Amino acid sequence: MRKIVLSFLFAIIAATLAGCGTTTINPNYSSANPELMFIGSEAPAAKAAETLNLGSYCLSVTEKWKVDGKTPDGQTIWTKDSLRKVVPCR
């Protein structure tokens, strides 16, 4: 019985050492649409609000960048918010 316990203990230690010895995977911060996410110290330049004519109504689109966290190496993650509002056409 003691040999079984010792062999089990050595197997656990070996598995732990093997798991800690492997290299870690570097995180990949990317987006399918890079217009929606940016990584850097300063926010990208904001565009002025634009009005889109959609036929029977118009839509005002305002885009803002906001801080959405940090990467493990300390870089700021910026994400874009879009505010859409129906406005009268001119």
> Is a pLDDT exceeding 80 seen at residue 69?
yes
pTM comes to: 0.56
Separation of alpha carbons 14 and 19, rounded Å: 9
DSSP 1-48: -HHHHHHHHHHHHHHHHHHHHSPPPPP----SSTTSEEESSSPPPPPP
pLDDT confidence of residue 59: 94
Bigger pLDDT: 73 or 50? 50
Q: Are 78 and 44 in contact (CB under 8 A)?
A: yes
Residue 8 dihedral angles phi and psi, to the nearest 5°: -65, -40
pLDDT band per the 50, 70, 90 thresholds, residue 50: very high
C-alpha separations of 28 from 31, 54, 72 in Å: 9, 38, 11
User: Could you tell me what percent of the chain has a pLDDT over 70?
Assistant: 86
